[in-house]
């Protein structure tokens, strides 16, 4: 028995030493770090499409990389701008300040990357081009990498959406490129440069000749071609800027947005979603092949995750006798709530300015003008919300400590709360229910934003440099991605990081 125990101990020691030999030594880094975010990707899509994926895309990441199978988003709300930012900063809206795809700053509603002080580059479309990371309060992986190398490292973001290229790359990025859908070409802003580099101009010239692209002029995000263009642009950026060819590590941040646009339109099931992910698999394979050719297999580190997931379509759930439904705040419930509030406070001017991602923004000026006690009003609004059908919880951010809400939900809500940007009152719906507006929501589509696993459970794959094959069922969080990458690179974590470095 002692002999068996001794042999077992020796074998385990050898295995540990062997695993330790794969860990990077101080000063040892890959030539290139690549972050890939798939917009609206549920974790279970990995298994749903596994048998249909080719050998060189997702299969390569799963079969040769490391999968954290229980990666959760640990804040509210679960939306695009926040997800991209949290993955790369290792923190939440309470610290990085990106509180939604749109939020209020000093009483003015802005999109997450809206910047009136920059000008578009590569287009005359100011609506699309006046964007930058000016609203981002925390540093990213790329910012820390550039700081560590005295800004010799190059960091570039590429995506269909401005927020999905700008926020991951960070404030000090060399460039971020996104698509101007009106002119169907990649653009940037004067935050980064005064003129598109020649390789980007050449790429745009080729896009103009793309007859397939010209056929989908309304919204290319509804088609897998959007992913193909994003992958091609990322490869063009890598080659044009010679990423991974210098003396220091470079970083490429790629986000695929067509999956989100298609999901909102057609939900989580059906031929359109199937096509989107099978075509995305080809884009992943194309990227990996390009990385092999540019820097060599084993010389680059890749991580792939989602910015959020998505609920199943409410009608699909109803048809199968499962819980869920369309919750119509703008069309039904705000009127019900306001009838009672108006009678109680003699309201003559609307006191609720907006509802963003299940958070109410109060009009403080209108409240003062009407002589209403703000805290009394806030308490009354919470009471009215709780009377509405399918509202599970509601509370005033100022009274979070005493709200009768499960602690883990309060914690997620507060991690997503920035006092100047996140509104005043939050509410959560029953499982399967989500906000729906018949004017802009697709009856066969879906959305996201809640704490539930269908919105918050996302993939997390690591592949390439110093990554051994394996998987873990342990709960980890989107905020753990940045400290993990920084730990592998032996650089400082982003300056507001609250995540922990994961062990492989």
Active-site residue set = 80
Query: What single-letter DSSP state applies at residue 71?
Result: E
Task: Tell whether the torsion through CA atoms of 36, 186, 147 and 78 is positive or negative.
Answer: negative
Q: Helices (DSSP H) in 296-333: which residue ranges? A: 314-319
Q: Omega before 446 cis (within 30°)?
A: no
Alpha-carbon distances, residue 431 vs 196, 301, 311, 457 (angstroms): 46, 37, 9, 14
- For 325, other C-beta atoms within 10 Å of its C-beta total 17
CA distance 109 to 491: 36
Beta-sheet pairing, 359-362 with 352-356 = antiparallel
Q: Helices (DSSP H) in 296-373: which residue ranges? A: 314-319, 334-345, 364-369
User: 314 by DSSP, 3-state: which?
Assistant: helix
Closest CA to 244 of 5, 472, 465, 8: 465
* Cβ 159 vs Cβ 178: under 8 Å: yes
Query: What single-letter DSSP state applies at residue 502?
Result: P
Query: What single-letter DSSP state applies at residue 57?
Result: T
- Residue identified by tokens 């919750």 is 327
- For 328, other C-beta atoms within 10 Å of its C-beta total 14
Beta-sheet pairing, 250-256 with 155-159 = parallel
CA distance 46 to 44: 5
User: 454 by DSSP, 3-state: which?
Assistant: helix
CA distance 161 to 186: 10
Angle between helices 258-266 and 225-240 (to 10 degrees): 170
CA distance 392 to 305: 29
The structure tokens listed for 293 are 């050719």
Angle at 488 between CA 482 and CA 489, to 5 degrees: 90
CA distance 463 to 78: 25
* Cβ 362 vs Cβ 353: under 8 Å: yes
Q: Per-residue DSSP letters for 426-467?
A: EEEEPTTEEE--TTTS-TT-----SSSHHHHEE-EEEEETT-
């Amino acid at each position: 028995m002692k002999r068996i125990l001794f042999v077992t101990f020796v074998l385990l020691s050898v295995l540990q030493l062997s695993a330790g030999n794969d860990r990077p030594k101080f000063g040892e880094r890959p030539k290139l770090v690549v972050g890939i975010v798939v917009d609206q990707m549920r974790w279970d899509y990995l298994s749903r499409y596994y048998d249909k994926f080719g050998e060189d895309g997702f299969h390569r990441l799963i079969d040769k990389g490391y999968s954290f199978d229980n990666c959760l988003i640990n804040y509210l709300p679960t939306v695009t701008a926040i997800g991209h930012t949290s993955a790369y900063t290792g923190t939440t809206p309470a610290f990085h300040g990106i509180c939604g795809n749109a939020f209020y700053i000093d009483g003015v509603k802005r999109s997450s990357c809206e910047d009136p002080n920059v000008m578009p580059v590569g287009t005359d479309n100011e609506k699309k081009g006046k964007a930058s990371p000016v609203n981002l309060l925390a540093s990213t992986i790329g910012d820390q990498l550039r700081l560590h190398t005295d800004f010799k490292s190059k960091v570039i973001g590429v995506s269909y959406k401005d927020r999905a290229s700008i926020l991951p790359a960070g404030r000090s990025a060399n460039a971020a490129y996104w698509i101007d859908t009106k002119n169907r070409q990649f653009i940037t802003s004067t935050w980064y440069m005064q003129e598109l580099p020649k390789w980007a101009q050449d790429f745009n010239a080729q896009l103009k000749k793309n007859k397939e692209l010209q056929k989908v002029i309304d919204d290319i995000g509804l088609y897998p071609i959007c992913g193909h263009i994003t992958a091609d642009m990322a490869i063009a950026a890598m080659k044009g800027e010679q990423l991974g060819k210098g003396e220091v590590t470079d970083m490429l941040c790629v986000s695929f947005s067509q999956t989100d646009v298609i999901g909102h339109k057609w939900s989580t099931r059906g031929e359109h979603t199937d096509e989107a992910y099978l075509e995305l698999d080809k884009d992943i394979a194309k990227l990996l092949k390009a990385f092999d050719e540019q820097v060599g297999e084993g010389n680059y580190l890749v991580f792939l995750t989602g910015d959020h997931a998505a609920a199943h379509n409410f009608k699909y759930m109803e048809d199968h006798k499962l819980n869920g439904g369309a919750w119509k705040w703008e069309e039904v419930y705000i009127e019900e709530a306001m009838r009672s509030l108006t009678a109680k406070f003699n309201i003559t001017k609307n006191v609720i300015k907006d509802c963003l991602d299940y958070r109410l923004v109060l009009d403080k000026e209108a409240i003062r003008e009407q002589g209403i006690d703000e805290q009394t009003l806030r308490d009354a609004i919470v009471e009215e919300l709780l009377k509405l059908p399918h509202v599970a919880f509601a509370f005033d951010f100022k009274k979070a400590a005493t709200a009768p809400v499960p602690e883990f939900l309060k914690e997620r809500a507060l991690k997503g709360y920035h006092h100047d940007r996140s509104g005043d009152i939050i509410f959560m719906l029953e499982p399967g229910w989500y906000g729906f507006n018949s004017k802009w929501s697709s009856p066969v589509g879906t959305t996201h934003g809640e704490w539930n696993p269908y919105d918050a459970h996302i993939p997390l794959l690591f592949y390439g440099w110093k990554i051994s094959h394996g998987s873990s069922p342990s709960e980890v969080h989107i905020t753990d991605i940045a400290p993990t990458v920084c730990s592998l690179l032996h650089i400082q974590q982003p300056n507001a990081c609250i995540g922990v470095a994961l062990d492989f």
